[in-house]
Amino acid sequence: MSKAVPEPVTRLIDAFSRLPGVGPKSASRLTYYLLRAPAELSETLAQAIVDLKQNTRYCSICWNITESDPCPICGDSARDRTLVAVVEEPLDVLAVERTGGYNGLYHVLHGAISPVNGIGPEQLRVRELVRRLEGGQVQEIIIATNPGLEGDATAMYIKQQIEPFGVRLTRLARGLPTGGDLEYVDAMTLIRALQGRSQM
């Protein structure tokens, strides 16, 4: 950067630029916004980041992000312990929980198999999922990975790993969105909707 830009400003722009989805222009905008904002806003943001790193951990059962171990979901005795939804990221847990229609447990993989990005099965929490099955309490695994090549490859790998346990393995349905028009649906979604059709 130019010598006209003070070093602390340059460092913060560089730090923001390393965040996913934040380009150089957005990083500059955020930095200059904080420069003009009241000091308490910057201090609150800085403290929130420190607290995030110091006060969160992974649940030793499901690997979701939590303040306490086990997490509130794994510690809830009212949840169905025979049912585990396997998701890619902690944000996926939030998405499923928002529906209010699922009462089982979760297992967070922290990614999906992606050879292009150098992510193989050993980088995911699959071994931990297999260990959970050894207790014999889990009766069904719902594969809730994202639709697409990486999610499908991850689902197939998980299937191979858990087949010896004889648990029921299901996959989230794929198909047409409610209120959507057939003419606007992509071909792959329409094919999957036809393949996954159910009796009326």
> 76-171 belongs to which CATH class?
alpha beta
pLDDT digits (tens, 9 = 90+) for 78-133: 999 999 999 999 999 999 999 888 999 999 999 999 999 899 999 999 999 999 99
Average pLDDT score, the chain: 91
Across residues 26-52, what is the average pLDDT? 95
The ranges assigned to domains in the chain are: 76-171
Whose CA is closest to 118, among 161, 150, 74? 150
pLDDT above 80 (res 182): no
The Cα–Cα gap between 147 and 186 comes to: 13
Q: What is the pLDDT of residue 177?
A: 74
Across residues 11-36, what is the average pLDDT? 95
pLDDT above 60 (res 200): no
Tell me the CA distances in angstroms from 101 to 96, 111, 191, one per residue in order: 8, 24, 26
Tokens found for residue 11: 């460092």
Across residues 63-76, what is the average pLDDT? 97
